[in-house]
Structure 1
């Protein structure tokens, strides 16, 4: 059975003055009446530790990967379970090392063996920890 005439389109019937009425002149968006929850703080989050990495040089210095004197230095978190890393969970911010973007990508998604990536991060952390402590005036354990 085929229809000879197409179905007639009829839009929603809206009242004049409604928030989304095409007749009101301007669409007014109304916020939700539900109260939003405060964002949950990540365990081990410390802004001072992340801020200490700003303006520093790359401490990872992966041969053939590192971009010396790069402006893309970011805090590189540890990928080891002993530092709080888990599935979908970052390590605590005290276990960060300043690293250029190229070294950070190599550390997180590189094809190098896990032991090699861990040893590079640990060596960088040993070098960075006393400098960070001096910068933030904290004692090193």
Structure 2
């Protein structure tokens, strides 16, 4: 038997981006369906948040009434509310400039380095995500909003 769904938007990819987008679209009134060819939970390379990404996550979770996602915007609230989801604390990070075809050289006075401000405390710090846990958590929010999601589903065009 084949199920039929009438939707406004089909999202291909059930990871963090696809699931978060589906949740927002559903809260905006769209009928949404999510498809992914992988089986969840799945391995994915980790991510690390930035102060701006954390701010955007907080604003979107608040604006679209997604309270289960709000704690993921800071290390302290994450560990307090979602201790089962793997994450690490990130107090700051740096960007380094180097040129293609040349070995990296640290220039005097850190001329080729940009240090992004560290968080004021561990509880307010950014996070390193264990993507397998985070993606699965976001995907598991979908049924709570009546969003059909099918993993192990290939889309051919």
- What TM-score results when the alignment is normalised by the length of structure 1? 0.23
Higher strand share: 2
Higher relative contact order (CA 8 A, sep 6+): 2
- What TM-score results when the alignment is normalised by the length of structure 2? 0.22
